[in-house]
Amino acid sequence: MTVIKASNLTKTYNPDKIPVRALRGVDLAIEKGEFTAIVGPSGSGKTTLLNIIGGLDRPTAGEVEVGGKDISQLSDNQLIDFRKDNIGFVFQSYNLIPVLTAKENVEFVMVLQNRPKAERDKRAESLLTAVGIAEKMDKRPSELSGGQQQRVAVARALASKPAFILADEPTANLDSESTAGLLDMMATMNKEENITFVFSTHDQRVIDRARRVVTLVDGKIVSDERR
Amino acid sequence: MILQLAWRNIWRNKRRTLITISAIAFAVFLASFMRSFQKGIWDSVIDGAVNQFYGYAQVHADGYWDDQTIDNSMELDAQLNALPQSVDLVADVVPRIESFALASSGDLTSGVFVLGIDPVKENAMTQIADKIIAGSYLTPTDEAVVVASGVAKKLGLALNDTIILISQGYHGVNAAGKYPIKGIFEFGIPDLNKRLLLLPIKAAETFYGAEGRATTLILKINDRNDVPMAIAATTQQLPNEKYEVLEWQELMPELVEARLLDEAGGYIIIGILYLLITFAIFGTILMMTKERSYEFGVLTAIGMRRRKLFGVIWLETIIVAMLGAIVGILMSIPIVYYLHINPIPAAAMGADAAEAFEKFGISGDLPTAFDKSTFFIQALIIFLITSLLAIYPWTTIMNLKPIEAMRG
Ligand SMILES: Nc1ncnc2c1ncn2[C@@H]1O[C@H](COP(=O)(O)OP(=O)(O)O)[C@@H](O)[C@H]1O
Ligand SMILES: [Mg+2]
């Protein structure tokens, strides 16, 4: 099943002044259960691509379908609701709300979805257990290491039961041990729960763990290999 | 969880929050205190004038107030005398003949303000008998006068001296009479103390040739808040082509104007105070909005609607503002209440101020007004200021682009 289908995506920043063509005709389809790395040198368009397929930015031309639905026609509020219910985000860092505990951060998206308290509690606890930091549940982000924070971010991204998870360089600010730990956890989730991950990176050790590697150079896909 | 989120966000920067709360509390405290004090003084002034002389409302023959002559007097008929029975809120009616006369004693002559009074009813309203400093007060059948100390001084009068009054009576008859001085009183309103002369209304009727008439009928109303209702009911009872019913604001427009003018000055000071507070609150809101734009970006990215996000921020600022207002009110209540129960003596305000107060007839104490609405209004002002300033986070959040906010 295709969860994301991007066709002929073009993104030009500053079209009026000095135009920057960040994406030049990208076609990409992501299947359910894939574990995909978007790789490429800095400035190649990875973030731009993830933002557009995540509904955070609009393409200059081209189309994005998520779960068969064209998201380019959605209004601002519809797009926000769409992100809430369909996409889990993990950003480079500072993902979490500083005044909420790890568990409350995970619960938060479910609060936005108006899920009942009992369900939120249960799901937040089981997700935090799954990402391996059950014992840090009641700590605030400032009391957690970078790696632990990213684990909470993954748990939060999963809380809304999204169609897939987008992670833009989730390990960029982590040491190698935490990087390996986070990747292990994500790979396990992918294998055992069939969760679809799309993440960008330029770290070779992370690339090595991916099962599909899409390489971008100057806003174009130059290779796409499954292994 | 939204409320929890707002509450914890407030205490993210404890110092800033405490400073903001203190600044608001201080402004609310000062404003409540100033307003209560000013309101208290003016209430005393007006109550003084009402209780000593004017009453809360008066009935006259129609047109009398614009042309105050004895010819515009009215017959004190049964309908007027029955007002306390026919109108619930009118406790009693106090009749007067108010007019002028030339008074002389020996070779000294002076204009006096003649008040023909019902000695019993008049005293029940104004306690004028307590102000007698020499001699004694009038009885209804006396053919004698009591004069204010200023008049006695001007005309060189002592007790039992004779005063000669000359005037024009009802329908142009000559009015002249000779009266012994039965007493001398000290009147609280200095201007009147120089001119006032009282005699029993029966004697005044005879003097002015105005049998059974009065220029003025004061409505005795026990509670100031009942005045508009009492006037409405009285107006209903009386044929309005024959009478006019005036309330205290119309009877002493200079006082009402002086109050407005003085209070306007107070409002300007309070306005400046709140303007400063507006800047202080705005500074806090500005910093709070700016330093959290990354977080706002994350929150909209993961699916929080802008209105909801704004709701949290609004709640945070309103909670801080209301905490400030509540602290300010709680600080001012004991002081305002204390000064309401234990008023500052007018003399303690300095000789100049005491003299100014005396002009309006208050020489005693100056209680603050202890009025719930004064405190409530300050809280309301803070609420409105904060809500207005929330326009800033509102526009920020409505125009927020998550990816730009998160790029920092
Ligand atoms: N908001 C923007 N305005 C102008 N240029 C941008 C903007 N965002 C990204 N770019 C440019 O687009 C290109 C692709 O950027 P990006 O998608 O961030 O690449 P990557 O994530 O692979 O480093 C770069 O040349 C970058 O400078
Ligand atoms: Mg990038």
Residues of A in contact with B299 (CB under 8 A): 97
* Kind plus residue range of the DSSP H or E element containing A61: strand A61-66
* Chain A hits for B302, Cβ within 8 Å: 83-84, 89, 109, 112, 156-157
Structural contact between residues B309 and B296, judged by C-beta atoms closer than 8 angstroms: yes
pLDDT of residue B6: 94
Question: Out of B4, B302, B402, whose CB is closest to A84?
Answer: B302
Backbone angles phi, psi at B46, to 5 degrees: -70, -45
Enclosing H/E stretch for A83:
helix A76-86
Which of A11, A56, A71, A110 is best to mutate for the B interface (most B CBs within 10 A)?
A: A56
Answer whether A174's CB lies under 8 Å from A145's CB.
Answer: no
Ligand 1 atom at minimum distance from B404 CA? 1
| Longest distance between any two alpha carbons in chain B, whole Å | 100
Q: Do B299 and A77 touch (CB under 8 A)?
A: no
Q: Which of B53, B22, B34, B20 is nearest to B361 (CA)?
A: B53
Contact A104 B306 (CB under 8 A): no
Q: Do A97 and B5 touch (CB under 8 A)?
A: yes
The CB of A42 under 6 Å from ligand 1? The reply is yes
Q: Is A14 in the pocket of ligand 1 (CB under 6 A)?
A: yes
Q: Count of CB contacts below 8 A, A vs B?
A: 59
Contact present, B5 and A97 (Cβ < 8 Å): yes
Across the interface, do B402 and A56 touch by the CB < 8 Å criterion?
yes
B74-75 vs B213-214, strand pairing mode:
antiparallel
The 8-class DSSP code of residue A34 comes to -
pLDDT at B39: 92
The minimum CA-CA distance between A211 and chain B, rounded to whole Å, is 26
Nearest to A94 by CA among A27, A160, A172: A172
Give the mean pLDDT of chain B: 93
Q: What's the token pair of residue B173? A: 């008859």
* Strand bridging mode A35-39 / A212-217: parallel
Nearest CA to ligand 1 atom 24: A43
A88–chain B nearest CA distance, Å? 7
Tell me the mean pLDDT in the region A7-23: 93
Tell me if A41 CB under 6 Å of ligand 1: no
The closest-lying atom of ligand 1 relative to the alpha carbon of residue A41 is: 22
pLDDT (tens digit per residue) in A141-167: 999 999 999 999 999 999 999 999 999
Task: Give the separation between CA A207 and CA A188, rounded to whole angstroms.
Answer: 16
Tally the residues of chain A. 227
Pull the structure tokens for residue B369: 């007004």
Q: Does the CB of A74 have a partner CB in chain B at under 8 Å?
A: no
How far is it, in rounded angstroms, from Cα B239 to Cα B329?
Answer: 49
One digit per residue, pLDDT tens: chain B, 408 residues? 889 999 999 999 999 999 999 999 999 999 999 999 999 988 888 888 888 889 999 999 999 999 999 999 999 999 999 999 999 999 999 999 999 999 999 899 999 999 999 999 999 999 999 999 999 999 999 999 999 999 999 999 999 999 999 999 999 899 999 999 999 999 878 888 999 999 999 999 999 999 999 999 999 998 888 999 999 999 998 998 899 999 999 998 888 898 899 899 999 999 999 999 999 999 999 999 999 999 999 999 999 999 999 999 999 999 999 999 999 999 999 999 999 999 888 777 777 777 767 666 666 778 899 999 999 999 999 999 999 999 999 999 999 999 999 886
Q: Are A53 and A66 in contact (CB under 8 A)?
A: yes
Distance CA A219, CA A48 (A): 9
ipTM, two decimals, is 0.94
- State yes or no: pLDDT of A71 exceeds 70: yes
Nearest to residue B198, comparing CAs of B115, B119, B124, B125? B115
Q: What is the pLDDT of residue B154?
A: 95
